Structure formats: structure tokens, C-alpha cells
A = this chain, B = another copy of it.
Amino acid sequence: MPLLPRRFERLKSVLNHRMADLTVLLEHVEKPHNLSAILRSCDAVGALEAHIVSLQGRTRTFNSTAQGSQKWVPLNDHPTIETAIGSLKDRGFRVYGTHLGVEAKDYRDCDFTGPTAFVLGAEKWGLTDRARDLMDEALFIPMRGMVQSLNVSVATATLLFEALRQRQAAGTAPSQGEGLSADHYTKLLFEWSYP
């Protein structure tokens, strides 16, 4: 099927807003509606890709909540939390763990304008000790109610939208494709155009 010009413009416009330097790493998050809502939020904000460390033997599944966003935001698998965080650090990301510990910082006091990766924990257990040891900094979203934590897809979105807000305020949120390398842009535009 030939690619309609309007469709091509739309694909370019989305790529123009993508950010390679904003991402999430999901540690053992596994409910389909959470995974789905998270990828959908990544797409909405403009995060180029996402990362996951799955529990052994679990396959991840999405549901209608994803609305196809798994096609537009690759979810990269990592065998262990060490390799996952290690590769993000090698690529220059500051790795923020979400953890309501003593030294954790209010997310509004953190600077997300540089390369930023948020690590989110499992629905029941939160982050593993190993993830906590490896992260650069701990942050939390202040809670004013009776329940101690947010749903993980809500927490992810709250952090992503705050990062976007800060970048828009700083004038660094991309709109002309400057958020990813030219090679990557061309490759993705081709893949998206001729799936």
C-alpha cells in the first residue's frame, strides 16, 4: 500500500518530538494494563524507547490499554537489573530509582533536563535491593493520603510529564528531530513508513 503524504507528515511530526534521552526501566512490572498504560504514556510524552527486566519465565503481554503504543515505543529486554542499569549509565543516563526511603528526594526538586532514566518497581514489592544499590539517586512523589503508594503506571506518567514540563520550561524539548541522532531518525522513519 502506498504511503499517504498525510501519514508520512504525521510520522515525521512524531519523530520530531521524540527524546532519546528520556526513558523508563521497569523492574518486574508485569500486569498487562500497567505495561500498556506505561508504553502509551511514553509515546504521549515522546520517550523514544523503554526498558524492562522481567521475572524469569514471565512473558509480557499488553492489552487494549496500549492502543498500539507497543509498536511505537520499543520495550527493550535486559537479562538482569545490573546489565540494564549498567548500559543506561554507560549511555550517560542519570538513573533515578523510585523509592520512598529516607534519603529520597521530592521529584519536583530533581533536574530532569539532562539524560534521565526512571526505574519503576513491581506492583507488589517495589524495587529490589539490588536496584536501589545501583541507582544514582532516589526520588519519590509526595503522598498526602492514607494509601502509601501510587499505581505504578500513574507514578510513571507523573514523572514523565514532570520531565517534559521541565524541558519545555527550559526550551529543550525537541520539536525538529533534534531529540535523536540523524541516523536513528532516518532508520525509524523508514521502519515506520514501511512496516
Contact = CB atoms under 8 A, between A and B. Distances in A.
Interface of A: 10-11, 14, 17, 31, 33, 36-37, 40-46, 65, 67-69, 71-73, 108, 141, 143-151, 153-154, 157-158, 161, 164-165
Count of chain copies: 2
Interface centre among A10, A11, A36, A44 (most CB of B within 10 A): A44
Given A33-B33, A158-B158, A165-B108, A44 B143 contact: yes
Contacts of A148: 67
Main secondary structure of the interface of A (DSSP, over half): helix
Given A151-B40, A153-B37, A72 B146 contact: yes
Contact of A147 (B43, B157, B164): B43
B69 A146 contact: yes
